[in-house]
Chain A
Amino acid sequence: RKEVEQDPGPFNVPEGATVAFNCTYSNSASQSFFWYRQDCRKEPKLLMSVYSSGNEDGRFTAQLNRASQYISLLIRDSKLSDSATYLCVVNRPGGGYQKVTFGTGTKLQVIP
């Protein structure tokens, strides 16, 4: 099993729709989780951290399910500008704060 797995998509959704992505991780001892977005031919940018209690930032909600070992990202009221690839990032326990594994990303295309 890969350390971090994401459905590559693409997820094609109409404007205004709600869409959710999951990201599964293999190491139950992982403690920190992040979502990044990456626009085509650009660098990844931090979208949000994922806390045990969940995290909400405007239209975006991130949640952690430790029992099933996955994190999720929910986007409400999708905008055309949300079209991007969303990368999940999970830390590698025991390797120091900086050691993480990136997922390969889920591509979202919001359609007019």
Chain B
Amino acid sequence: NAGVTQTPKFQVLKTGQSMTLQCAQDMNHEYMSWYRQDPGMGLRLIHYSVGAGITDQGEVPNGYNVSRSTTEDFPLRLLSAAPSQTSVYFCASTSPSGQGTHYGYTFGSGTRLTVV
């Protein structure tokens, strides 16, 4: 059982380049999300999806796009990388457990992105 798989683990980009961070889960979770984690700022939500074909913006969506064509995959695209996007990116997934809550998030192992 792989859980949530993120690739790549490390990436260095030049300003203006684009790239896609991959995220796949094999737990049939309906909810998937992307977070970035910066020192002193905690985890901030970039984009999320509550099911295939449905996506929405989080707190810090600018400069990122997502799509959810299948339940399993939720790629994050950086359109034109900027140094401010240097961060650690985590993909997370979960499913509802009823009564307005969920089972807790399962996180991928993260992507450390540096934009120079």
| B-binding residues in A (CB < 8 A) | 31-32, 34, 36, 42-46, 49, 87, 89, 91, 96-98, 100, 102-105
Give per-residue flags for B83-99: 1 if the beta carbon is below 8 A from chain A beta carbons, else 0: 00000001000101101
Q: Chain A's nearest CB lies how many Å from the CB of B76?
A: 15
Q: Check if A96 sits within 8 Å of B105, measured CB to CB.
A: no
Point out residues on B near A: beta carbons under 8 Å.
31, 33, 35, 40-43, 48, 50, 90, 94, 96-97, 99-102, 104-110
A97 to B42, CA, bound (A): 20
B43 touches A98 (CB 8 A): no
- Give 21 pairs: A residue, B residue, CB < 8 Å, sorted on A: A31-B99, A31-B100, A36-B104, A42-B109, A42-B110, A43-B107, A43-B109, A46-B105, A46-B106, A49-B104, A91-B101, A96-B100, A97-B31, A97-B96, A97-B100, A98-B48, A98-B50, A98-B96, A102-B35, A102-B43, A105-B42
